[in-house]
Every structure is written in C-alpha cells, then in structure tokens.
Amino acid sequence: MAVRIGIRVTGHLIDFCSVDALDVPEGASIADAIDLLGIPIEQVGLVSIDGQAVSRAKRSDTRLSEGNEMVVMAPLTGG
C-alpha cells in the first residue's frame, strides 16, 4: 500500500523535481522519498517534515506517513 506525501523543493533542486505530491510505499523513509524524486543526495541540504527539520543522520530512519509535508532544500551557500 502506498501513502501520499506533499512535496516542496527549493533552489536548484527544482531542476530535478517539479511534483507537489509523491506516492511512496508504506514504511518508506525520507531517504527513500528523496531517491524516488531523483534528487542526488549530495545536493540536499535541509529536509523538514511538517515543519520540523530532520537531521541527515535520521533521514534513513524517519518513516513517512499519509499526508506528511516534506520540504527539500538545497544547501545554503554564501560568501
């Protein structure tokens, strides 16, 4: 069974993904969803689920649920 999550990407990641929702297998992790979106993991900066930032270390262990809103942001750069 699949669950549907909302998706928003920012910055240059829009080049990889232009969807606003994604169906993922039940039990899928944040890392699984990023992979399904086709975004190279090294291009990902901050990820949040329902407004809460999720550390890089927890992305493989954090499971997604129906209706979650995932925001994937490019790394911040500056000078």
Whole-number pLDDT of residue 79: 59
Confidence of residue 78 (pLDDT cuts 50, 70, 90): low
Which CATH class name applies to 2-72?
A: alpha beta
pTM: 0.91
Whole-number pLDDT of residue 18: 85
Q: What is the C-alpha to C-alpha distance for residues 33 and 28, in angstroms, rounded to an integer?
A: 7
Per-residue pLDDT tens digits for 24-74 = 999 999 999 999 999 999 999 999 999 999 999 999 999 999 999 999 999
Kindly state the tokens that stand for 13: 């990641």
Of 4, 3, 12, the residue nearest 73 (C-alpha): 12
- The full set of domain ranges for the chain reads 2-72
For the chain, the straight-line distance linking the first and the last C-alpha, in angstroms and rounded, comes to: 46
Confidence of residue 1 (pLDDT cuts 50, 70, 90): confident
